Amino acid sequence: MSDAIKHECGLAFIRLLKPFSYYQQQKGTALYGLNKLYLLMEKQHNRGQDGAGIASVKLNAEPGYPFMHRLRSVAQQAIADLFSQVGKEFNELEKSQPDIRKHPGLMKGHLNFMGELLLGHLRYGTQGKNNVEFCHPFIKRDIIPARNLALAGNFNLVNTEELFNLVNVHPGDFQKQSDLAAMMEVVHHFIVKEDAANPGNMSIPGILKNAFQHFDGGYNVCGLIGNGDSFVIRDAHGIRPSYYYINNEVIVAASERAAIRTSFHVAENEVKELMPGQALIVKSDGTWTIEQILEPKPRRACSFERIYFSRGSDEKIYRERIGLGYRLSNNVLKAINNDLKHTIFSFIPNTAEVAFYGLLKGMEDFLNQIKVQRIMAWDKDFDEEKLTEMINRKIRVEKVAIKDVKMRTFITEDSNRSEMVQHVYDVTYGTVQPNVDTLVVIDDSIVRGTTLKESIVRMLSRLKPVKIIVVSSAPQIRYPDCYGIDMSKLGDFIAFKAALALLKDRGQMNLLDQLYDKCKDLREKGQLHTENVVKQVYGSFTPQEISAKIAELITPQEVDVPVEVIYQTIEDLHDACPGNLGDWYFTGNYPTPGGNRVVNMAFINFMEGKDVRGY
C-alpha cells in the first residue's frame, strides 16, 4: 500500500486444558502456552506495530496470592520487548533455582505469566496517543476474583458517549479517547450485577447478552475473568474477523486463520470461523460452548481484510487477491490497446505483489489466446523460427519501483521535506524503453494519493514511458471507516478531492453548502444516523469521471507523462471476495446506524475546517 494507514489490531487467546506437568512431559517445556502465545502474536505482527500487551490468569490461586497479571509495551519491537521481560523473570528464577524446569507447579507459583489463561494483543492506534496506557489489555481489579476482568479486542465503537451514560460513568480525558475504556465499563458493570445475583455461578452468556447489545461497531473481543472463565465474541455483522481451534490440549482464538494454522501446525478445516454474533465461552473447568449471543445480521465482513490487512499466507486470501488482480486485466488491456509488446508490468511494493500475479495471469491468458489464433491462422505457412518467436512471446515484467527505508528530514523547511519525500521510492533504470513503452503498476489501494503524487509518479516519469497506468486492486475509497481502520477524515481521501474538483469544474460547489445545512438539521433533530448525506457529493459523477480526475490530481505539475488510474469495480470486488462483502468505505452503505452518523459528522467537520475524526 503506497499510502500507509493504521488498522485492524490483532488478538491472540490461549486456554491450556492440561496441567503444566503435561506440557513439560509431552511438549518438552512447561512454557508451552507462552511459547505459542508468542508465535500467535508474531504471526499477526502485520496487524499492529504501535504497541502490544499480554495478560494471564492463574487457576486455583490461593487467597491473597495474585492471579491476574498484565504487561504492555510501546517499544519499537513491542512483542520482543514483552517476551524478553517474561524471559528475564524466568532466567532470574533459574539462577537461584537451577532445577526449577523440573517442577512446573513451582514455576507457576513464581512466574507471573505462567497462567492457564493467556491473552495477547497487537495495537494499531486509530485513536488516542501512542502511550502504553492505550495498549490492550485493560484490566479491572476487585477483591472478589469473579469481578476481575482483562479485556482486549480488535474494534472501534461509535457510541462511547452513550455507553458511559448507560452505566453512569463520567469519563476522564483518558477514557474519552479509548473505546475499550467504554466497553470495559459496560462489561464489568454487568459482571458485577451477575456476580451479585448468582455468586459462584455466573452466566457468561447472560453477561454478554446484556452488555454487547449496546455496542455499535465492529469487534472481535476477548475477556479473561478472575474466576477462570473466559470468552471471545464477534459482532453481529461479522465485520471484524475471528477464528478458533480446539483440541484436547488447548483452546485457541485469533484474528487470523493462518496464524493459528502456522502456530499449531493444523489443517485449514481444523480452524473454525466464529460466526457473526457468536461467542466462544470457556468455563473455569475447561468446558466450552459456542453461544449465539447476538442475533446475526446480514454478513458484512470487512473486504479490506482480504485486499490488504490480513496475511496473504492464508490460502483463501491468497486466491482472492489473485482474483482481484485477474479481474482488472480486461480494463488494463483496453487502456493499453492490447499492445503487450510495448507494455511493462510491475507492482508497488510490497503488499500489492499477490494481486500483481493475478493481473499477470490475466495478461498471459490473453497472450496465449493471441498465440493460438495466430498459429491457427498460419495453417502450414510457418517455419521453426517463426513458430519459436511466437511461442516465446512473454509478458514484460520488471521490478520498476523499489521502496527505500523511511526518509527523515534533518532540516524542517517545507521545500527540503518535499524533496526528501520524493525519494521514499526509487526506480530501476534501464527497464523502460524511453518514449516507447507504457508502464503499468498495480497498488492494492489508493487512499490519499499523497505518496503517488509526491514520490511514485515523479520517480516513474524519470523512466520516460509514453504513459503511466496506476491500477488499484481496491475500488475508490470514498467514505470514512469507523470499525477499526484509521480512515476517518473525508478531506484526506483523493476520491473526495476529485469529486470536489469536478463540482468546481461544473460550477456546482453550492451543493456542499446545501448538504452542510442538511447535516446540521439532521444533527439538531438527532437523526444523523438515518442517511448517508455524503453520497450526494458523488451522485452526479461516474466512477470513470472520478478516476480521470484522480489521475489529474496525482500528476505533479512538472510531469508531462500522461497518467491514467484504473480502479477495481464494486461488482468484481464482491465476485473475488464473496465472503467479505463489507464495502462501506467504497459504497457508503454502512452496516450500523453509527456509520451514517460518522460520515455525516466527518462532512460537518470538513466544512467547518476541523481536523478531527467523525466519532
Report helix, strand or coil for 540. Answer: coil
Average pLDDT, the chain: 91
Amino acid in position 81: D
Q: Where are the beta strands (DSSP E) in 2-128?
A: 10-16, 51-57, 68-73, 117-123
The alpha-helical segments, DSSP class H, found in 384-491 are 384-391, 414-421, 450-451, 457-461
Contact 414, 444 (CB under 8 A): no
Contact 465, 437 (CB under 8 A): yes
Q: For residue range 182-203, list pLDDT tens digits in order.
A: 999 999 999 999 999 999 999 9
Please state whether beta strands 51-57 and 117-123 pair in parallel, antiparallel, or not at all (unpaired).
antiparallel
Given a cut of 90, is residue 429 above it in pLDDT? no
Placement of cell 487467597 in the chain: 63
Q: Quick check: 401 pLDDT over 90?
A: no
Q: Which residue has the higher pLDDT, 54 or 418?
A: 54
- Say if residues 30 and 114 touch (Cβ distance below 8 Å): yes
Three-class HEC string of 256-310: CHHHHHHHHCCCHHHCEECCCCEEEEECCCCCEEEEECCCCCCCCCECHHHHHHC
Q: Indicate the pLDDT class of residue 410, thresholds 50, 70 and 90.
A: very low
Per-residue pLDDT tens over the stretch 216-268? 999 999 999 999 999 999 999 999 999 999 999 999 999 999 999 999 999 99
Q: Is the pLDDT of residue 305 over 50?
A: yes
pLDDT tens-digit map of 550-568: 999 999 999 999 999 999 9
pTM of the model: 0.91
Q: Give the per-residue pLDDT at 402.
A: 80
Pairing mode of beta strands 138-140, 149-157: antiparallel
- Report the Cα 277 to chain-centroid distance in Å: 20
| Residues 427, 449: Cα–Cα separation, whole Å | 18
Give the C-alpha separation, 77 to 299, whole Å: 35
Q: Which residue has the cell 472501534?
A: 156
CATH topology classification for 326-607: Rossmann fold (3.40.50)
pLDDT score at 309: 80
**Residue 420: predicted pLDDT:** 52
Cα separation values, 131 from 7, 125, 135, 333, 599, Å: 17, 10, 7, 49, 28
The full set of domain ranges for the chain reads 10-299, 326-607
What's the fold here for domain 10-299? Glutamine Phosphoribosylpyrophosphate, subunit 1, domain 1 (3.60.20)
- Output phi, psi for 105, to 5 deg: -65, -40
Task: Compute the average pLDDT of residues 362-387.
Answer: 92
Name the residue among 477, 469, 416 with its Cα closest to residue 446.
Answer: 477
